[in-house]
Amino acid sequence: GQNIDQPTEMTATEGAIVQINCTYQTSGFNGLFWYQQHAGEAPTFLSYNVLDGLEEKGRFSSFLSRSKGYSYLLLKELQMKDSASYLCAVLGGATNKLIFGTGTLLAVQP
Amino acid sequence: EAGVAQSPRYKIIEKRQSVAFWCNPISGHATLYWYQQILGQGPKLLIQFQNNGVVDDSQLPKDRFSAERLKGVDSTLKIQPAKLEDSAVYLCASSPGELYETQYFGPGTRLLVL
């Protein structure tokens, strides 16, 4: 079976750092994606990890541990515009299907 | 570079009616995906095309949903007849067609079935 877990909601303060965790169990693994989705808009690509370790891209970083089935998205210097849903998605299966988690709704407060 | 285009953006229909959605992927992208996103959930893959061939339609409710991608470019997704539980956002995405590729999403069509 395939299962992706991430917290439903998180709250953080403007200027702070927040870590959004994602654990997964999938048949086959070809990488893990993080997408950002503002309310009423399409998901936009943030990061892709296929090897263990940390990938840094500006204020956003993503970490992967394949042996633990675990990833996190780290957001630094939070801004109000970072308030959105963050979707963890694993690429796997026989047809390289992208399986999404339910998303973590992040609220950034002043 | 133009992104993935979808129309209409919003649609309200009554149950048992039919509806169709249109998607134009990023130019040159061989792979096209249709997802259903119910409120509060992540997108769920309905069907994946590679050029004009179906790669995966295992989660497409084939008794009421159909999709086609003639000529390997634009695609249409149809629901006939619609049910209340079909109320969702229907997202189209495309990717170049290589392994481990990033998918780029369109703005989606928000469907409300009354």
User: What residues are paired with B19 via a beta bridge?
Assistant: B79
- Alpha-carbon distance A3 to nearest alpha carbon in chain B (angstroms): 12
Type of residue numbered B49: F
Give residue B100's pLDDT.
Answer: 65
Give residue B1's pLDDT.
Answer: 64
Report the length, in residues, of chain A. Answer: 110
Interchain CB distance below 8 Å, B107 and A87: no
Measured CA to CA, the distance from residue A56 to residue A76 in angstroms comes to 11
Average pLDDT over residues B10-36: 95
Average pLDDT over residues A9-13: 97
Q: Who's near B16: CB < 8 A, 6+ residues apart?
A: B81, B82
pLDDT at A95 over 80: no
pLDDT at B14 over 90: yes
pLDDT digits 0-9 by tens, B45-83: 999 999 889 999 999 999 999 999 988 899 999 999 999
Average pLDDT over residues A75-100: 91
User: CB-CB: which of B42, B99, B102 is closest to A101?
Assistant: B42
Give residue A4's pLDDT.
Answer: 93
Question: Tokens 């495309």 map to which residue?
Answer: B94
